[in-house]
Amino acid sequence: MPLSSHGGMVTIRDCTLGSTCAHSAGAIHAAQGRRQGPLPDRAEKSPAVELAPYGIWACGIRTPTGRSAIIVTWVTQISFSPLLIGVALENDREFLGQLLKSEKFTLSVLPRDGGKRIAQGILKDGMDGGRDGNGDLFRTDTAWSEAARGAIAALNCRTVAQHVHGDHTLIVAEVTGEKRWAAGAPLRLSDTGWKYRRPTPGKDTTETN
């Protein structure tokens, strides 16, 4: 899932690194064949699901007008060979369409020490390819120009499939390159005090502090 104030993901709308919990289930039939009422919306009622650990990743792409980035949290490895990862993005995000059109993206691992500040800069300015108070949001080296400045590591990825289920699209991507710039622990969602929840209409999905 993603975090970004411009289409990204925290209750983090794109949490960018953001994005949202499961959608409402429809009515179902019981084993006895009796029709049951609609299942409750579990978006705010899944405390066990919320115990799952998530990271905070910066997801960067190249667009016709420059570079864009959001913060995402729903990222996982799904294959050893080939090396594949899965990234879930909200279906209504403008960034999702840009990523699918680009077919390539970079996931940056943010450091636990100082990574929250980097994420806040991306949430504020990333979709504009802008600058934060301490300089450019992106690295300047050509091979990693969509990686976040200050990241401790990054993965270059190529989209190979997409699956639309519920309110998120699962992007399956092959890792085409990786780079480690510094040692240190990665930033996790639990380190930030943020939560990734279903957005309220008319409001950002990012709850930050």
In a domain, 48, yes or no: yes
In a domain, 33, yes or no: no
Confidence band of 112 (pLDDT split at 50, 70, 90) = very high
In a domain, 91, yes or no: yes
In the three-class reduction of DSSP (H, G, I as helix; E, B as strand; rest coil), residue 207 is classed as strand
Q: Strands across the sheet with 66-72, in order?
A: 2-3, 66-72, 57-63, 104-109, 153-165, 168-180, 84-90, 75-79
Say if strands 131-132 and 2-3 run parallel, antiparallel, or are unpaired. unpaired
CA distances from 81 to 66, 85, 122, 158, 198 (A): 32, 11, 32, 15, 34
Q: Is 135 left (phi over 0), alpha (psi -120 to 50) or beta?
A: left
In a domain, 163, yes or no: yes
Q: Which two tokens stand for residue 114?
A: 């100082």
In a domain, 35, yes or no: no
Check residue 173 and give its pLDDT. 98
Residue 153 has pLDDT above 60, yes or no: yes
Number of domains in the chain: 1
- Give the CATH number of the domain where residue 113 resides: 2.30.110.10
Mean pLDDT of the chain: 76
Query: Once rounded to an integer, what is the mean pLDDT over residues 98-106?
Result: 95
Find residue 131's DSSP bridge partners.
136
Q: Which helix (H) or strand (E) holds 58?
A: strand 57-63
The highest-confidence range among 18-22, 35-39, 82-86, 166-170, by mean pLDDT, is 82-86
Among positive and negative, which fits the CA dihedral 161, 205, 49, 45? Answer: negative
pLDDT tens-digit series, residues 66-92: 889 999 999 999 999 999 999 999 998
Q: Where are the alpha helices (DSSP H) in 46-114?
A: 94-102
Residue 29 has pLDDT above 80, yes or no: no
pLDDT tens-digit series, residues 183-206: 999 999 999 999 887 655 544 444
Structural domain of 73: 2-22+44-207
